[in-house]
């Protein structure tokens, strides 16, 4: 027999199915008495609204996709939960998927979301093979915002927004120089990626202005790489401070120093990037560039919803301000 439909409700309430539909939409043109009858019938039958059927007939608004390159990284987790909750609160539905830095999975995920009728998308894309993913969005004419990483150059179609990474790199480098550090490395980040380039650029600019030779220690944005880098700082590299690509690397550096009996904040000054929740809880507490990622996520959700509902397409490129949170890892113990 399946679930009851509006026809069953109509029959039970003794009205037509149009009337039931109007009740469902809270139309003011239904009398209170009829509305009550219908509501009671729905409750008795255990009626559940079938949104797919409704969307089929009316304009398909309401479903927003959120596609994230690495949901296990706390920075992205915090972003994704902020976006998802903002979307839900606004009465839209959100579907979120992790693409695990895999271009093929990203392409499949997007194809599935389009088939499921998303009207808009927020994507923190994987690097590589952008055509497969963004091409589909372009052909399907789906409103999509590119966030945190600029992978598609078509920011006219896919407006881009991120925290101002370059400014963050600048703040971190200037702060370290102000504390007296002179041999400052940039640790982590993979060459050729937009986020790496931007975060490094602020650092490079400041070092150049002070006549200090830069040192780029490239590597994956992970704790494991940070630990490895710590060993190199102790054994080979002559540095007294570092700006890290992100907090995971920085926390790895702290851990690596600790395992060799050295203390970050005393023997070495360190600044991370992203200010994930853990930064304040580590020992020593980690200085970090705060991107306000939860607010950023809420803002992205609001922009996409404005785009969908009012046609207000966001500007092609936006950078939100960042600030440096100074803690013991760079300010000394």
Partner DNA sequence: CTGAAAGCGCTTACAG
Q: What is the CA radius of gyration of the chain?
A: 25
How remote is the C-alpha of 66 from its chain's centroid? 9
* Stretch (H or E) spanning 97: strand 93-98
* Stretch (H or E) spanning 283: none
Binders in 227-256 for its own copies, by CB under 8 A: 227, 251-252, 254-256
Size of the site for DNA (CB under 7 A): 31
Judged by CB under 8 A, does residue 88 bind its own copies?
Answer: yes
| Distance in Å, CB of 325 to its own copies, minimum | 17
* Stretch (H or E) spanning 324: strand 323-325
Select the binding partner of residue 108 from its own copies, DNA, none (C-beta < 5 to 8 A, by kind): its own copies
| Distance in Å, CB of 144 to DNA, minimum | 20
152-to-134, 142, 149 alpha-carbon distances in Å: 7, 15, 9
Angle between the 17-24 and 32-45 helix axes, to the nearest 10 degrees? 90
CB of 68 or CB of 206, closer to its own copies: 68
Residues 288, 273: contact at Cβ < 8 Å? yes
Binders in 285-314 for DNA, by CB under 7 A: none
Binding string to its own copies for residues 18 to 57, with x set by CB under 8 A, is what?
----------------------------x-xxxxxx-xx-
| Distance in Å, CB of 165 to its own copies, minimum | 23
Binders in 44-83 for DNA, by CB under 7 A: 47-50, 53-54, 56-59
Binding string to its own copies for residues 52 to 71, with x set by CB under 8 A, is what?
xx-xx---x----------x
DSSP characters over 194-242: HHHHHHHHHHHHHHHHTTPPPEEE-B-SSHHHHHHHHHHHHHT---SEE
Which of 61, 132, 140, 216 touches its own copies by CB under 8 A? 140
Judged by CB under 7 A, does residue 136 bind DNA?
Answer: no
* Stretch (H or E) spanning 84: helix 74-89
Residue with tokens 């370290």: 176
Judged by CB under 8 A, does residue 80 bind its own copies?
Answer: yes
* Stretch (H or E) spanning 145: strand 143-147
Binding site for its own copies (CB under 8 A): 3, 46, 48-53, 55-56, 60, 71-72, 74, 77-78, 80-81, 84-85, 88, 93-98, 100, 105, 108-109, 112, 114-117, 139-141, 223-224, 227, 251-252, 254-256, 258-259, 277-278, 281-284
């Amino acid at each position: 027999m399946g679930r009851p439909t509006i026809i069953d409700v109509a029959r039970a309430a003794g009205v037509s199915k149009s009337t039931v539909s109007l009740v469902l939409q809270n139309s003011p043109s239904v009398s209170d008495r009829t509305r009550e009858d219908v509501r009671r019938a729905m409750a008795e039958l255990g009626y559940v609204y079938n949104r797919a059927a409704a969307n089929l007939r009316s304009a398909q608004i309401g479903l927003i996709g959120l596609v994230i390159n690495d949901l296990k990284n706390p920075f992205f987790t915090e972003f994704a939960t902020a976006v998802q909750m903002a979307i839900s609160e606004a009465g839209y539905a959100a579907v979120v998927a992790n693409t695990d830095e895999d271009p093929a999975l990203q392409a499949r995920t997007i194809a599935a979301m389009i088939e499921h009728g998303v009207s808009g998308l927020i994507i923190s894309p994987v690097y590589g093979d952008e055509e497969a993913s963004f091409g589909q969005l372009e052909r399907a004419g789906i409103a999509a915002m590119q966030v945190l990483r600029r992978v598609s150059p078509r920011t006219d179609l896919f407006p881009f927004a991120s925290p101002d990474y370059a400014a963050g790199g600048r703040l971190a480098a200037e702060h370290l120089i102000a504390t007296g550090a002179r041999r400052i490395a940039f640790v982590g980040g993979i060459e050729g990626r937009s986020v790496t380039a931007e975060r490094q650029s602020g650092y490079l600019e400041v070092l150049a202005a002070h006549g200090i030779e830069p040192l780029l220690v490239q590597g994956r944005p992970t704790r494991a790489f940070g630990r490895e880098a710590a060993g190199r700082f102790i054994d080979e590299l002559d540095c007294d401070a570092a700006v890290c690509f992100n907090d995971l690397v920085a926390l790895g550096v702290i851990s690596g120093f600790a395992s060799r009996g050295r203390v970050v904040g005393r023997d070495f000054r360190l600044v991370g990037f992203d200010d994930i929740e853990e930064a304040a809880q580590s020992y020593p507490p980690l200085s970090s560039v705060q991107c306000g990622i939860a607010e950023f996520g809420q803002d992205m959700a609001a922009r996409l919803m404005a785009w969908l509902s009012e046609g207000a397409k966001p500007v092609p490129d936006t950078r939100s301000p960042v600030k440096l949170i100074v803690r013991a890892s760079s300010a000394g113990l």
